[in-house]
Structure 1
């Protein structure tokens, strides 16, 4: 088990591409970097970097990554070594470093899917076709669509200052359709209202 959650030296986006681009899986950049890829510039500093993959392809990714990296599953507030062949039924995050003491290099966010659809775990009635949740940068880097990434940020139990900063950065460039989808999704998850809705 590791407890050094602040011990980060994140890979660059281009290095992440080098790690994942040859894998026979669907993947994309997530988190704040996904929003910056959409904006086309670095809007703020990033202390980590997230990659999104599906649970169905998790073991495939493991076989590729474990050759050069050490993987830890985040469960119940603990970071436990993920061993070969172990299928993670409910784990949502995997942290990755070069070895057992090296700084964290990237984080894998695990999503569930069914019948070709992404399923939002906090409100399972919110779904999108898998081929509709990812965009590509001009350089061909896959990243999570901004309205979906913002839903993950807004739907968290704790909205951080950087999450609201990301919303402010994205508002001027979100399309009407993206704003409408995010608003509808927030209303589904939060029927009593959400503070971000007034900004949308």
Structure 2
């Protein structure tokens, strides 16, 4: 859908790399939870930070912080960031201070501090069917939000570790393998079995299956 959107700027690999340096002041999960306190829509911390929340401590540095929300709930979340700039990102293009129709059409939105130019938060709009979460890489995988969103002792929501690792398994980098090795020992037998079943379905022969 993003290819049909007007405007935007195509980024070279060097420009993409330069943008990554602007995440130096990204928020913590606690800061994000403060910003979204009391919101009605489900949301959760995703990716590497989610695994740290699952394990109960920060285990490594994080270059950014990502959350995910049901796609239809984006306007409600967008309204929680007055005074910040929202940039839409898709397929190597960026729409700075994107119009609502652009923000509503792309998967990924970066929240930017206008005073410093630094990026603070990465927001994913995920497919869903009402209260049912849909895995964006395989629509056959559908689970209730009530089952996939876990919470820390102080109430910060995060994605279930087996689903975080399912995302990471698609194109694993060294840090993804490290996250897998560090997280699996803390997972229940049911969580490991679920991850193995999902990997066998989406990535037959994946090397992580042997370790599970």
TM-score for the superposition, normalised by structure 2: 0.86
Q: 1:115 & 1:99 partners in 2: Cα distance?
A: 34
Q: 1:68 & 1:23 partners in 2: Cα distance?
A: 18
Question: Shift in Å at residue 116 of structure 1?
Answer: 2.2
Q: 2:136 & 2:100 partners in 1: Cα distance?
A: 25
* Structure 2 match to 1:152: 167
- Equivalent of 2:189 in 164, 176, 180: 176
Contact persistence 2:132–2:142 (CA under 8 A): yes
Q: 2:107 & 2:53 partners in 1: Cα distance?
A: 23
- Equivalent of 2:32 in 16, 29, 35: 16
Q: 1:54-65 residue pairs with structure 2 within 5 A?
A: 54-65=70-81
* Structure 1 match to 2:4: none
| Residue deviations 1:140-180 (CA, integer Å, cap 9, x gap) | 1111111111111112xx31111111101111111111111
Q: 1:69-148 residue pairs with structure 2 within 5 A?
A: 69-81=84-96, 82-84=98-100, 86=102, 88-89=104-105, 91-99=106-114, 102-148=117-163
Question: Shift in Å at residue 110 of structure 1?
Answer: 1.7
Number of residue pairs aligned between Structure 1 and Structure 2: 195
| Residue deviations 1:76-114 (CA, integer Å, cap 9, x gap) | 11121321354623x221111112861111101221101
In structure 2, runs of 5+ residues without a counterpart are: 1-8
| RMSD (Å), alpha carbons | 1.7
Q: 1:190 & 1:32 partners in 2: Cα distance?
A: 20
Residue 197 (str. 1) matches residue 209 (str. 2): yes
| Residue deviations 1:112-151 (CA, integer Å, cap 9, x gap) | 1014211111111111111111011011111111111111
* Structure 1 match to 2:180: 167
Contact persistence 1:123–1:189 (CA under 8 A): yes
SS at structure 2 position matched to 1:164: helix
Name segments (4+ residues, structure 1) moved above 4 Å: none
SS at structure 2 position matched to 1:35: helix
